[in-house]
Amino acid sequence: MVEQVASTTGSSDDEKTRALAAYRRKLVEYREVEQRLKELRKKEQEMQKEHDKSENDIKSLQSVGQI
């Protein structure tokens, strides 16, 4: 009976260790995804700025009558 309790505790510890390891992996994965998202948002902002500048340049040329 004592052996059975000890083995149950041991498997419980293993399960806890596996759960913690899985949690850590997911946390690292989340941080990587979050970083990629941050970079993509920054890139999107830069591209939007370039697009707006191009649109303004075209409007300026149209108002001058060159297009």
Tokens of 42: 């920054």
Amino acid code (one letter) for 2? V
Give residue-wise pLDDT tens across range 36-56. 999 999 999 999 999 999 999
For the whole model, what pTM was predicted? 0.64
DSSP structural state of residue 51? H
The dihedral formed by the CA atoms of 13, 15, 21 and 25, expressed in degrees to the nearest 10? -160
pLDDT tens profile 19-39: 999 999 999 999 999 999 999
Residues composing the chain: 67
For the chain, counts of helices (H) and of strands (E): 1, 0
